[in-house]
Structure 1
Amino acid sequence: MSTSLNPPKPILIVDDEASILLAIDTTLQMAGLNNTITCQDSRRVMDLLEDSPVEAMLLDLNMPNVDGHRLLDDVRRDYPDVPVIIVTGAVDVETAVRCIKAGAFDYIVKPVEADRLITAVNRAVSFQELQRENRSLRRHMLRDDLEHPEAFRQIITGNRKMLTIFQYVESIATTSQPVLIRGETGVGKELIARTIHRLSGLKGAFVAVNAAGLDDTVFSDTLFGHVKGAFTGADTPRGGLIEQADGGTLFLDEIGDLPQASQVKLLRLLQEGEYFPLGADVACRANARIIAATNQRLSVMLDEGRFRKDLNYRLQTHRIYIPPLRDRRDDIPQLLDHFLADAASRLNKPIPPVPRELLPMMAGYAYPGNIRELESMIFDAVSRHRSGTLSLHSIQAHIAREQSADGTVPALPNADAGPPITFSHRLPTIRQATDLLVEEAMQRAGGNQSRAAKILGISQQALSKRLKKKAG
């Protein structure tokens, strides 16, 4: 049962008939729109708006004291951002046209059809969210820093690409629309999801579930719960994680691993805002923001028919791609310092001094496991450390295991199989191709000629000659 307010700001319902107010309020409550204010006296409307900002307003036209036409003009003048939906018994086209020209957001004729009413209100709420998001995006485009840097304190980075992502996160955090976070394993997708939740202002919990390896029954029971007697052993009803995330955020990791049947259920949750616990005949309302993440290439899965296109569209209202560590190597020094200090603290050891060869070695590795792999490498090295300068042996051994015999990095997850080099329409000359290979090897080796020579499969002397020739 949802106990949090939806939408965050109330919907104001104005009508001089108590029965109409009750009917509209009940319809909205049953649809999960439970944050409402009713007003039977039109003279109080402007005072209510002054005291409490509202998400949208439902307004009757024919009322004593202050009629709806005058109120519409007053609201549009003083509170132009509030969508006003006219709800009236007047069915003539002239009245409808006059209201729309005066700035009404929508026009509904009594007796009110529930579906028509809910659709109009949801449109108004979505419009408000879009307006807020546009204002936030414009604000962030005009500045080069963060409004809430403290929210990102757990993410160690100084990379420009990551700062741009942070600015986008700030701009979308307060909307209720789904977010899809893409990126390879270990790049920090859950950290970004938790940051979005922190910035959202939602009062409910952040609840995470990993969808990898879950069949449809387990996924449905985990997410939606079950009623008593739903299956053998279901002696008592149990609420699912969507219930625990009420008024908060539900984070679905590894969304690409969901079976088709589970994808259909998730689609209903996103489209209708409702779900069925296992064994239930009556749908339950959901009130949680959905953030999904995947390390898979959904475009390939869509082409192969393994992921639903309609679910993909629903999930991608807001999209975030987190680049792998090899594309932001400038973060490695910061991350190295952080993980050294963290490992030393957890192991109750002093922070060991590091040899000068360590950073070039770390900068030249491609990290198929990304930041999570880097953290494990450093923790393992510090755990083995006894005294003196930190030994490079465990780090070198780890890199050697991950690299093939000729020094190339093994294929990363989801990478397309194919040749190690692709060519443009115009082929480079042999000399140009050689120069490019040398330049790339030196970059991967962090400027270390010995390591770059191993990557290229030549002697250090041969590489040194090529570098001198190129420089000359």
Structure 2
Amino acid sequence: MSVNLYPAFGVLLIDDEASFLRSFSLLLETAAGINHIYTCEDSRQAMDMIEKHSIGLVLLDINMPHLSGEALLSEIVERHPEVHVIIVSGLNQLETAISCIRSGAFDYFIKSSEEKRLIDGIKRAIEMQEMRLENQEMRRLFFSDTLKHPEAFANILTQDKGMKLVFQYLESVSESSRHVLITGESGTGKEAIAQAIHDLSGRTGLLVSVNVAGVDDSFFSDTLFGHARGAFSGADQARSGMVEQASGGTLFLDEIGDLSLASQVKLLRLLQEGEYYPLGSDKPKRLNARLIVATHQNLDTKQADGSFRKDLYYRLCTHQVDLPALRKRPTDIPLLLEYFLEKAAQELGRSKPTVPKELPVLLQNYAFPGNVRELQALCFDAVSRHRGGILSMAVFKRACDNADVSISPEAADAFFQYPVDHPLPTLQKSADLLVDEAMKRANGNQSIAARLLGISQPALSKRLKSRKGLETPSE
């Protein structure tokens, strides 16, 4: 069985004491989950190992035979400036530490110093290196405009440029172990994105999904952390929690914005300490899963009103993806319409109906508050009512008619922009401009344009004929 390696790049321990290398390797794995480790007792072999094993971080002793740590540091900095080097020395010498930092060392620690401080410094170096590699990959993808693993997004139907940029970003952070926050309106496909992130990560464990909306504090603890036998009345057997079930894989917490403050504290502690206690147990277990969280809530607003902890937010938002609403992806609507109609016909055992040519235009001018999920539901409803011939637009028109067409202040400000150094258009001219915009959005379809304007089709037709008559020069 393959083992997930953390971090994605190798960590090389260089020390002439074999016993220290063994104990240090064990400490890194148990205290920080770092298991992508290589060891080197002979400093003369270090450069070959760096090149052979794609090393990203070196933990280096100073006093060694053959080639000293300071000499090796200079060689690493010169030949591999992208590799971070941390000095882990038995000497508490200020001048040596300053010299190493000036020579390019990332940090300097004393072997006998506080263990937690050393581990935190190593974690910090790994995070910095991960960020460098992610930025490098993002630049490569941006300029190439290609995906390395398009198969990971095969279940997400889109031709929208914004969504493709999201895919490129996800590829660039896929191998990182840091957490991902997915935001977006309900129905935009957050769970599908979580699945894509898991597939891209190459993790051997499962993707375990939990919807935490409305979950009380005690149930949250039992669900995530599990319990020991006898932890409470009725706990006849020990049960593993979702964190343990996701070991080696990914834990997806949906609707994180609805989590209670008490549960937020427990989640924060899990992320800070990297370990947890099952209910009724005094033996800690390590977090060995990548965390992905999602919400349709505005977490900035929830932080402002005190219902979401700021410290938890900053732990979760290292990588953040904001999924665009369907109304912002108009080119995807015809594509999704055909797909869902085909899917509905197959499931209902019918032939796929013929789509009226004005239907995609109508839907491209609908706000879709329920996003992709709403479009799917409308398609299934329409196919279930279909009796032959061209598909009726009644189901779709009803949804458009029942929609809240009120304009937000922000949208109104964006639309009505009148430069102060230009005269205002007349009321008649403004009405004409509005009609022109509606006809443009409706692709010349008067019926759809009339819906957008909130008037009848005959009234729009009369206005257009009247304008045409005014524009025709008299003989």
**Alignment-derived partner of residue 262 in structure 1:** 263
Q: Structure 1's 436 and 114: CA in aligned 2 closer, same or farther, altered over 3 A?
A: farther
Partner of 2:370: 369
Partners in 2 of 1:16 and 1:45 — Cα distance? 12
What secondary structure is seen at the aligned counterpart in 2 of 1:287?
A: coil
**Does the Cα contact within 8 Å between 1:226 and 1:237 map onto a contact in 2?**
yes
Is this contact kept in 1: 2:8–2:176, CA < 8 A?
Answer: no
- Secondary structure at 1:329 match in 2: coil
Q: Structure 1 counterpart of 2:347, which letter?
A: R
Tell whether 2:179 aligns with 1:178: yes
Letter in 1 for 2:431: T
The equivalent position to 1:460 in structure 2, one of 432, 440, 457, is: 457
SS at match of 1:118: helix
- Checking the alignment, whether the CA contact within 8 Å between 2:4 and 2:203 is kept in structure 1 is no
**Residues 1:450 and 2:459 aligned together:** no
> Could you tell me which amino acid in structure 1 is paired with residue 455 of structure 2?
I
User: C-alpha distance in 1, partners of 2:322/2:466?
Assistant: 40
Deviations along 1:44-89, one digit per CA (max 9) or x if unpaired, are: 3234334322342211111123322222233333333221111112
Determine helix, strand or coil for the equivalent of 1:319. strand
Structure 2 letter corresponding to 1:194? Q
Contact 1:360 1:447 (C-alpha < 8 Å) held by counterparts: no
Aligned partner of residue 142 in structure 1, secondary structure: helix
CA contact (8 A) 1:84 1:104 kept: yes
TM-score in terms of structure 1 length: 0.89
Conservation of the 8 A alpha-carbon contact between 1:333 and 1:359: yes
- 1:176 offset after TM fit, Å? 1.8
Bigger CA drift: 435-444 or 36-45?
435-444
Q: Which residue of 1 aligns with 2:241?
A: 240
Query: 1:454: Cα distance to partner?
Result: 4.2
- Cα 1:357–1:220 change in 2 (3 A) is same
Q: Partner amino acid for 1:464? A: S
Query: C-alpha separation between the residues in 1 aligned to 2:218 and 2:440?
Result: 49
- What is residue 330 of structure 1 aligned with on the other side? 331
Q: Deviations over 1:71-121 (max 9, x none)?
A: 223333333322111111222222112212222111112324211210121
- Percent sequence identity over aligned pairs: 52
Q: Which amino acid aligns with 1:13?
A: L
Call closer, same or farther: CA 1:21–1:334 in 2, change over 3 Å: same
User: In 2, Cα distance between the equivalents of 1:248 and 1:392?
Assistant: 44
Could you tell me which residue of structure 2 aligns to residue 95 of structure 1? 96
280-289 or 134-143, larger mean C-alpha shift: 280-289
* 8 Å CA contact retained: 2:207, 2:251: yes
Aligned residue pair count:
461
Aligned to 1:119: 120
Q: Does 1:321 align with 2:322?
A: yes
Residue 146 (1) aligns with residue 147 (2): yes
| 1:64 partner SS | coil
Whole-angstrom distance in 2 between the partners of 1:48 and 1:367 = 56
Are 1:56 and 2:53 an aligned pair? no
Give the AA of the match of 1:359.
P
1:355-406 CA distance string (max 9 Å, x none) = 2332233223221111111111112222333432223333334444x33xxx
Query: Unmatched 5+ residue regions in structure 1?
Result: none
Distance in 2, Cα, partners of 1:352 & 1:247: 45
Tell me how far 1:334 sits from its aligned partner: 0.8
Change (3 A) 1:155 1:432: farther
- Output the TM-score relative to the length of structure 2: 0.88
> Displacement, 1:467?
4.3
Q: Hey, what does 1:308 align to over in structure 2?
A: 309
Conserved 8 A contact 1:169-1:196:
yes
Cross-structure match for 2:167? 166
Partner of 1:25: 25
**Alignment partner, residue 293 of structure 1:** 294
SS of 1:366's equivalent? coil
Task: Give 1:181-192 correspondences, 5 Å limit.
Answer: 181-192=182-193
Structure 2 unaligned blocks of 5 or more = none
For the residue of structure 1 that corresponds to 2:331, the secondary structure is helix
Mapped contact 1:381–1:390 kept (Cα < 8 A): yes
SS of the residue 2:270 aligns to: helix
| Counterpart Cα distance in 1 of 2:364 and 2:144 | 31
Point out the more displaced range, 342-351 or 293-302.
342-351
Aligned twin of 1:5:
5
